[in-house]
């Protein structure tokens, strides 16, 4: 299998670590080599956070460089727009429509760009935008945006549903299992409808 490159982007604290674990676990269940590159330390504190997941028959580099991402999975709209040059031609952006103002917007030095999803589509990017925050709330916890988006992502990857279920059971603490299972299912349903 050729190497698949998935970039998970968002704001520090949005749970990209769990999302990367889930994808990594599923790929591993399928006998593929996996590398997951995380961000720790200073950048985590509300900053722009990037996690790389690469899997395939043989993976050397843990990072995804310009023009290499098959999918950008984003938990925040501005972050979805920030990394477009990493996309492969024909690559997809799956993003939550949630917006979180960065400090230059809060201080008034800059404005949060308008209609980013529309602009991305108009520029020819293959984009699926989902209101994952509302869906996470529907699942029972606004923090489950990450797992809603993993549910969406699952529709675009060739792994069986059982693998995802197993990954969630392995990676999510028992206390949050129900909410996350629900979040995943909601995301997968939405992803499925957009796929057709």
Residue closer to another protein (CB basis): 155 or 186: 186
Residue 61 CB, nearest approach to another protein (Å): 4
Residue closer to another protein (CB basis): 102 or 191: 102
Provide the β-strand partners of residue 93. Answer: 72, 127
Provide the β-strand partners of residue 94. Answer: 73, 128
Residue closer to another protein (CB basis): 16 or 155: 16
Binding site for another protein (CB under 8 A): 11-13, 24-25, 28, 33-48, 59-63, 65-68, 78-79, 81-82, 84-85, 87-89, 100-113, 116, 119-120, 123-125, 133, 142-143
Residue 122 CB, nearest approach to another protein (Å): 10
The b-or-e profile of 113-139 (16+ CB within 10 A means b, else e) is eeebbeebeeeebebbbbebbbbbbeb
Residue closer to another protein (CB basis): 136 or 155: 136
Residue 10 CB, nearest approach to another protein (Å): 10
Residue 72 CB, nearest approach to another protein (Å): 12
User: Residue 129 to residues 74, 96, 147: CA-CA distances in angstroms?
Assistant: 9, 6, 15
């Amino acid at each position: 299998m050729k190497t698949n490159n998935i970039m998970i982007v968002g704001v520090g604290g949005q749970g990209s670590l769990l999302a990367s674990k889930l994808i990594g676990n599923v790929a591993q269940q399928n006998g593929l080599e996996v590398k997951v590159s995380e961000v720790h330390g200073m950048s985590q504190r509300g900053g722009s956070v990037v996690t790389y997941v690469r899997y395939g028959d043989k993976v050397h580099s843990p990072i995804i460089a310009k023009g290499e991402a098959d999918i950008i999975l984003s938990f925040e709209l501005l972050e979805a727009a920030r990394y477009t040059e990493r996309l492969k031609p024909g690559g997809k952006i799956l993003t939550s429509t949630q917006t979180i103002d960065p400090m230059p917007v809060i201080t008034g030095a800059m404005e949060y760009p308008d209609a980013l999803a529309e602009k991305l589509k108009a520029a020819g990017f293959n984009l699926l935008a989902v209101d994952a925050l509302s869906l996470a709330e529907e699942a029972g916890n606004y923090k489950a945006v990450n797992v809603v988006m993993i549910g969406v992502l699952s529709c675009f990857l060739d792994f069986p549903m059982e693998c995802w279920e197993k990954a969630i059971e392995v990676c999510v603490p028992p206390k949050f299992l129900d909410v996350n299972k629900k979040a995943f299912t909601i995301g997968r349903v939405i992803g499925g409808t957009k796929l057709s």
